[in-house]
Amino acid sequence: MASAIAAARARLVAWIRHLARIRYRLLLINVIVAAVPVFGMAFAEMHERQLLAALESDMIHQAELVRAVVRTSDREPSALEAALVIAARDTRTRIRILDDHGALVADSHRGGPPEGAEPPVPYLSGGESPTHVAEIPKPVALAERSEVKAALAGRYGSATRLWEKQQRVFLFAALPVMDRGTVTGVIYVTRSTHDVKLQLYRLRTWLVRLLALSLGITALITLLLATTIARPLGKLTRRAQRIAARQPVEPNDRLMRRSDEIGQLARAVDAMTDELERRARDARTLAADISHEFKTPLTGIRGAAELLRDGAAEDPEARDRFLEMIVDDTARLDRLVSRLLELARVEDYRGA
């Protein structure tokens, strides 16, 4: 169990290190930049709901104005139809007045839409919504609609319906007309979502263009940064690994000619390579010199010791001479060791 957890942790660490490479960091940054228009699409959906809510609120305000006119006017509601036509022409809103049974009393669109046919809405994928002609609406049993039933019951009613034939969405709002607590009629307002769809088309078109531009720019930036940063760093990493493995390397003049940090790093690696090669040569030369310098006194010491062993120690004069030779050669070795220590201190100071 513990070994499995350790193996999983090791794989996780290796995966994190793999993703920590510069190219993946740059890609992450570019993905975040490109994701901004995508979040803009989500904002467009929220904006659509807000626009529809604002459209419904505007419809309610229009219905309240018509209700106030109906309450305060001495004329019959049917006599207000001409005023409803003028209001519909300016606001592209169909306004109907119903009696207390849901029957139609006045209609701004009785003779057809006074504002004319709606222009088609273009699609993001190309083309546009179907074009329809302004036609006289057909009679409908309005009292059966849920929003009208709610208004006849003294409550506000609303609904959204799709006209599949022409691919249009309509909002419906119904306000009751009250007189001393009794419902005497209904103000029934209908409006197309054409304006909302047109605004959303413009917004989404801008967001799609921004998304395409962001993707193009981020792709170019990723390619540029990968070419100018990640790839040269990979080359320098492989060169440093060859140097560590004591394998021959060739200088990269193209990288060293760069004036940015990559060029500075390449020149530093090249200088390090030269310094390591110099130190290697110095070490080989020093080893040869030490071998030569140490060999002479060691040979003298060994020769004197062998002569003393072979009987020269019986002769006091020879014994003193050979002992003095050993002492001299030992002092010479001591001086060589002192010089080596001093040379090592100089190299350490130079390296610091």
| CATH code: domain of residue 317 | 1.10.287.130
Q: Is residue 230 part of a domain?
A: no
**What are the distances in angstroms from CA 104 to CA 25, 71, 173, 337?**
67, 17, 15, 120
| pLDDT digit string (tens) for the chain, length 352 residues | 667 777 777 776 666 665 556 666 666 776 777 677 677 777 777 777 777 788 788 888 888 888 888 888 777 777 788 888 888 787 778 889 999 888 988 888 888 887 766 666 565 555 555 555 556 777 888 888 999 999 999 999 988 877 655 456 788 899 999 888 889 899 999 887 766 666 666 777 777 777 778 778 777 877 777 777 777 777 888 888 887 777 777 766 777 777 777 777 888 888 888 887 887 787 788 777 777 777 777 787 787 777 777 777 677 777 777 778 888 878 887 887 887 777 777 666 655 5
What is the total count of domains within the chain? 2
Contact between residue 93 and residue 189 where contact means Cβ atoms under 8 Å apart: yes
Q: Is residue 228 part of a domain?
A: no
Q: Is residue 165 part of a domain?
A: yes
Q: Which of 165, 188, 204 marks a domain boundary? A: 204
311: left (phi over 0), alpha (psi -120 to 50) or beta: left
Residues 274 and 148 in one domain: no
- Secondary structure letter of residue 122 according to DSSP: B
Residues 55 and 152 in one domain: yes
Residues 23 and 90 in one domain: yes
Q: Is 176 exposed, middle or buried (0-12, 13-18, 19+ CB in 10 A)?
A: buried
Q: Is residue 238 part of a domain?
A: no
Q: In the chain, at which residue ranges do the beta strands (DSSP E only) sit? A: 93-99, 104-107, 157-163, 168-179, 182-192
Q: Is residue 132 part of a domain?
A: no
Q: Is residue 214 part of a domain?
A: no
Token duo for residue 2:
């513990």
**What are the distances in angstroms from CA 112 to CA 82, 97, 109, 142, 195?**
13, 16, 5, 18, 20
Q: Is residue 146 part of a domain?
A: yes
102: left (phi over 0), alpha (psi -120 to 50) or beta: left
- Phi and psi at 37, nearest 5°, equal -65, -30
DSSP 283-340: HHHHHHHHHHHHHHHHHHHHHHHHHHHTTGGGSHHHHHHHHHHHHHHHHHHHHHHHHH
Residues 198 and 318 in one domain: no
Residues 175 and 322 in one domain: no
**Rg (alpha carbons) of the chain, rounded to whole number:** 48
Domain that holds residue 159: 8-121+137-204
Question: In whole angstroms, what is the distance from residue 39 CA to residue 36 CA?
Answer: 5
- Please tell me the pTM assigned to this model: 0.49
Residues 276 and 200 in one domain: no
Token duo for residue 343:
């040379």
Question: In whole angstroms, what is the distance from residue 277 CA to residue 283 CA?
Answer: 10
Of residues 22, 211, 216, 208, the one with CA closest to residue 126: 208
**Amino acid (one-letter) located at 2:** A
Which residues on adjacent β-strands are paired with residue 107? 96
- Phi and psi at 315, nearest 5°, equal -95, 115
Contact between residue 259 and residue 245 where contact means Cβ atoms under 8 Å apart: no
Helix (H) or strand (E) segment spanning residue 90: helix 81-91
How many other C-beta atoms lie within 10 A of the C-beta of residue 231?
13
DSSP 48-68: HHHHHHHHHHHHHHHHHHHHH
Residues 181 and 57 in one domain: yes
pLDDT in tens, 46-83: 777 777 788 788 888 888 888 888 888 777 777 788 88
**Amino acid (one-letter) located at 19:** L
Q: Is residue 102 part of a domain?
A: yes
Of residues 11, 339, 215, 186, the one with CA closest to residue 347: 339
pLDDT in tens, 177-227: 988 888 989 999 988 776 666 666 677 777 777 777 877 877 787 777 777
For CA atoms 245, 249, 255, 261, give the dihedral sign.
Answer: positive
Cβ-based neighbours of 226, under 8 Å, separated by 6 or more? 23, 26
